[in-house]
Structure formats: structure tokens, C-alpha cells
Amino acid sequence: MDPGFLAPLIPIAAIIAFAVIKLAKLRASHSGSADVTARLEAVERSLQEVQQELIETQERLDFAERLLSQAREERRIGDQ
């Protein structure tokens, strides 16, 4: 399976997870449970960290793909 195929699905899943956490947090704040609210805030922070790591990983992947593409192009030009 091509890893590029899954790349667009990861941010979509993160966005959905973020929305679900926000909704759960709103629901918990209305119910008055401080423990649930604190736990949801911890999960939200963790998700934000994962999103940042995903952004950095995607940037590294893009950079590596550009380098590989450039190297292929240089080899192709050198073969002519």
C-alpha cells in the first residue's frame, strides 16, 4: 500500500477527534464534573501535541520527497 494514500486521512481523523473531544468537553462542563473536564482537557492537550508532531512529520516527508525527486531528475538529466 502506498504510504501517500494514507497521508490525507491522518489530518482528517485528527480533526474529527478534536471535534469529538470539544463536544465531550462542553457536555462535561454542563454536567459539572470537574474530574471529567480535567481529563478531557488533558486529552485535548495530548491531541494538540500529536497534531503538532504530525505537522512536523509531514514537513519532513515533503522535504524527503523533494530531495528524492530532485536526485531522480539529476540522474535522468545526467543519463541524456
Kindly list the domain boundaries of the chain, sorted by start residue. Answer: 9-79
What's the CA gap between 56 and 69, in Å, rounded? 20
Cell of 60: 519532513
**What's the pLDDT at 1?**
47
**What's the pLDDT at 47?**
87
H runs (alpha helix) in 3-79: 3-6, 9-31, 34-79
Residues of the chain with pLDDT under 70: 1-8, 29-32, 80
Answer whether 53's CB lies under 8 Å from 31's CB: no
Answer whether 55's CB lies under 8 Å from 11's CB: no
**What's the pLDDT at 58?**
92
Residue whose C-alpha cell is 486529552: 43
- DSSP class of 79: H
